[in-house]
Structure 1
């Protein structure tokens, strides 16, 4: 597939949206449209290195810092010295690293990855889950979206991403399958995760931060999947717990996620506005 142009719309406070591992900017389609539609936010949602429609990795040994470097270069191209950064899963990990470089006005981390030390059960459990999903990805690559019509396939496909099986729409689920089966960084990032520690120095964050945890998150299940963040983040971090949703809540309840982002940005921006809705 040819490189995909990032979602870039609206005007106002700069908001950067970063997607999860195996996904693309597509997971932000609804939220980006809602935020841009308020007239208060300039929204930018790129696809990261090694992911479907994003730039190719320049080396086999892809690591988090390269993902961060790429996003930082894109911010520079936009003329954004800083932005309100929102990241889900792998995107949350990248968001924290961008904050460490001084690029965040605020940080919203939704079910973020990287919540582990160099050697921890949580890290190895996470890698094992993705390795065990490898055969399903191979089958989906061979069959394409029609694999979702097989008995039980929708439930299997939605277990890692949503609470109920009917969480994502059919269109969103087909895009997820396409993105996951064309992610060239699949092995690279799992190897990187095994070799290197997770997030460090969380207590030194300088930007206002909100941590969003999802009740039905099966990738980083509560409590063990987010204990590291709750222990190491600054005491003034805002913690939001969403009931009934899975690891990628933008696909299940975009209105709620839009409201969370807009409200937090408004709280810390110079000119707060009203609410965000589906319109």
Structure 2
């Protein structure tokens, strides 16, 4: 979670030199580690744990009905603890939707979405496909969490990572173990699998900040026009990034850092 300031929250101010990095469903802040190292010196990364994920704020008992909004509320609370009003926001997958929701609430100076979730139509074939992929991934992760020694085998790691990265062998054993642990111990994912309401990501009606959506060329989780339909009305910049998977931060952290730096640099002043 974001470290709280020693004196508690004060007057909120914009943070133009900081970037909020939001991980996706079943992941954790570690996915941004190499991106943070590649950011230009004038940018400082803030990488919280999204509520409902391992090490983060627990979702309340009514998570089945309000899990996504609880995540947004918790992120706002954490920004308030740091006395931050608006900040540059970057999000991957679920984190991309959360970034757009923060922009909708007036908390973003700019937004970069990497393969954002929430573009499917409720009840669509696309949504069912995403759910089936997460159900399978969660089951496999639960089994491997109990027998992590199997992850030492390159073929097992490849099978686990192939759906989310372009180059599985480039991911270390340690990071693969982290990936499996986060996926296995994810309260938000369990809620989304068990309750349709918990995976209903509210349609984004507007964005209050300069926004870019970057789609991964080798995305096997959100692959197809159905993943983009729900964002077309926003009329934001869209780019296609070749040779990266659903987690582009693991495939090409330098490129992701460049995308972040470009988005921050070209962000025009926006009104609160």
SS at 1:46's partner residue?
A: coil
CA gap 1:106/1:5 in 2 versus in 1, 3 angstroms: closer
What's the CA shift for 1:201?
Answer: 3.9
SS at 1:241's partner residue?
A: strand
Unaligned runs of 5+ in 1: 271-279
Matches within 5 A, 1:179-190: 179-190=182-193
SS at 1:224's partner residue?
A: helix
Mean Cα displacement is larger for which, 95-104 or 180-189?
Answer: 180-189
Which residue in the other structure is 2:111 paired with? 107
Counterpart of 1:154 (choices 146, 154, 157) is 157
Counterpart of 1:19 (choices 23, 27, 36) is 23
- Contact kept? 2:218, 2:245, Cα under 8 Å: yes
Which residue in the other structure is 2:207 paired with? 205
Is 1:246 the counterpart of 2:225? The answer is: no
- Contact kept? 2:192, 2:199, Cα under 8 Å: no
SS at 1:157's partner residue?
A: helix
What's the CA shift for 1:189?
Answer: 2.7
Give the TM-score of the pair, scaled to structure 1.
0.84
CA gap 1:250/1:88 in 2 versus in 1, 3 angstroms: same
What's the CA shift for 1:156?
Answer: 1.2
Counterpart of 2:101 (choices 87, 92, 97) is 97
In the comparison of the two structures, how many residue pairs are matched? 258
Which residue in the other structure is 1:233 paired with? 234
Which residue in the other structure is 1:165 paired with? 168
Q: Which runs of 4+ in 1 moved over 6 A?
A: none
Distance 1:29 1:262 in 2: 16
- Contact kept? 1:18, 1:88, Cα under 8 Å: yes
RMSD value over aligned CA atoms?
2.3
- Residue deviations 1:43-62 (CA, integer Å, cap 9, x gap): 21001112111122232525
What's the CA shift for 1:269?
Answer: 6.2
Counterpart of 2:82 (choices 65, 78, 83) is 78
- Contact kept? 2:203, 2:230, Cα under 8 Å: no
Which residue in the other structure is 1:56 paired with? 58
Give the TM-score of the pair, scaled to structure 2.
0.86
Which residue in the other structure is 1:277 paired with? none
More relative contact order, 1 or 2 (CA 8 Å, 6+ apart): 2
Is 1:216 the counterpart of 2:189? The answer is: no
Which residue in the other structure is 2:45 paired with? 43
- Contact kept? 2:2, 2:78, Cα under 8 Å: no
SS at 1:98's partner residue?
A: helix
Distance 1:193 1:207 in 2: 30
What's the CA shift for 1:79?
Answer: 1.1
Which residue in the other structure is 2:8 paired with? none
CA gap 1:165/1:82 in 2 versus in 1, 3 angstroms: same
CA gap 1:256/1:192 in 2 versus in 1, 3 angstroms: farther
Distance 2:140 2:199 in 1: 26
- Residue deviations 1:206-245 (CA, integer Å, cap 9, x gap): 211100100111110133322332x3221xx221211111
Distance 1:138 1:190 in 2: 14
